[in-house]
Structure 1
Amino acid sequence: MKLTAILFSSLLLGLMMGSCHSGQKVPEGEFLIEGFVKNLPDSSVVSLCQSENRQYADIVISDTVKDGRFVLRDTVTSKESR
């Protein structure tokens, strides 16, 4: 009985851990931001911006929304600490 409970618990834990992992790997030196925004019209543009000061922001990367989904993926060009 104890062995069955241990095996069942191990199987359940393994399934839970496997379902939490997306399986998508991002190589070192790259970033990936995937998102979903409910009720956002198709062809809307989502941008990731870097701000040097509060008056100016530079667009790093953009994507067009399709079915509420967008993906921002690029390489990391700087490892500055902020």
Structure 2
Amino acid sequence: MGRSLYESVNVPVGMKIKEFRENEQKRKLNCVEHNKKLHILLLEEKQKRERKPWLYDGTPQIHPRSQYVQDMMVNDIYLKM
């Protein structure tokens, strides 16, 4: 079992090749898991956009105040400063 060019260049001084290969396997597995999680998040975001597109298309969300709120703002018990 010889070394590949990648291993020859990237193995730190003093580290055994077996340890380096194990670390590379762990790193690759972590990358795959991370990509799966990222893909799931992107799919969830896409589904949210499809279900409620008005939240994402830049439409202003204007909600008028009710008469009750309007009266409370004018006639409340706290002093206005």
TM superposition score normalised by structure 2: 0.34
More strand by share: 1
Q: Relative CO higher for 1 or 2, CA cutoff 8 Å, sep ≥ 6?
A: 1
Q: Which has the higher helix share?
A: 2
Question: TM-score, normalising length from structure 1?
Answer: 0.34
Task: State the structure with more CA Rg.
Answer: 2
